[in-house]
Copies of this chain bind each other. A is one copy, B any other.
Amino acid sequence: MHKEAWTFFPHAGSRHVQTLRVALKLFVKNGFFNTSIQELCSEAEVSIGFFYNHFSDKEGIARELYRHLLARMNVLLDDIEERHMGNRDRCEAVLRMLFGLAEAEPEAMGFVVNARHREFLPEEQAICSASAFVRMRGFVFAGITEGEIREMEPMVAASLMYGSAIRMICLRLDGLVDTPIEPFFDSLWEGVWRSLKPV
């Protein structure tokens, strides 16, 4: 897998996927509740009938989008676990991946980190309880156990590990950083690692 594969939609094409893409765009730009099915169908150039045959209802398309993006993150994490054995290296690779995704697919990233999914998918767990995020924290916990990371409360360590990068991504998505953030990665990672490396 190459860096170019850091994308949430590796295969495009079908009207089904096209509708998902338009839903993603509109949900991120205007929010789930400000997006009507009419607008969505019109923009995706599909009929209302097509929509209801492919997605159970409005929540249905949001749910499919949500699960697709989280599943995709899990695939990317699989790849990271294969390529890196140390926990420190895995965490660094995760942060680099997040930076890459934020630039390559800002809308998907916005939907993952910014949207309040519970408001329109009440039956879903909080996103930070989702498998992908649990695994990410798992790298940190294992790093502490194995002595790669300084001894401290696991949740504090996880916040130190991922909080700064997520913050930077939010600032980027909100337009407060007006250039790609990838060039800042090394500097950010240096700071993060200083806070976590053993003394």
Contacts and interface: CB of A to CB of B under 8 A. Distances in A.
Interface string A142-185: 00000000001101111110111111101100111100000010
B166 A167 contact: yes
Contacts of A165: 159, 163
Interface residues of A, number: 43
Given A129-B176, A167-B162, A170-B128, A156 B116 contact: no
Interface string A103-139: 0000000000011101110000010110000000000
B187 A191 contact: no
Contacts of A32: 33
Contact of A126 (B116, B120, B174): B174
A71 to B, nearest CB: 21
Contact of A155 (B31, B119, B159, B177): B177
Contacts of A116: 31, 114-116
Contacts of A196: 191
A192 interface: yes
B176 A128 contact: yes
A112 to B, nearest CB: 13
Question: Copies of this chain, how many?
Answer: 2
Given A126-B175, A176-B126, A195-B194, A156 B170 contact: no
A120 to B, nearest CB: 8
Contacts of A188: 156, 159-160
A109 to B, nearest CB: 14
A53 interface: no
A180 to B, nearest CB: 12
Interface in A58-117: 114-116
Given A126-B175, A157-B191, A194-B195, 10 more contacts: A32-B33, A33-B119, A114-B116, A155-B184, A156-B168, A156-B191, A159-B188, A160-B192, A163-B165, A167-B167
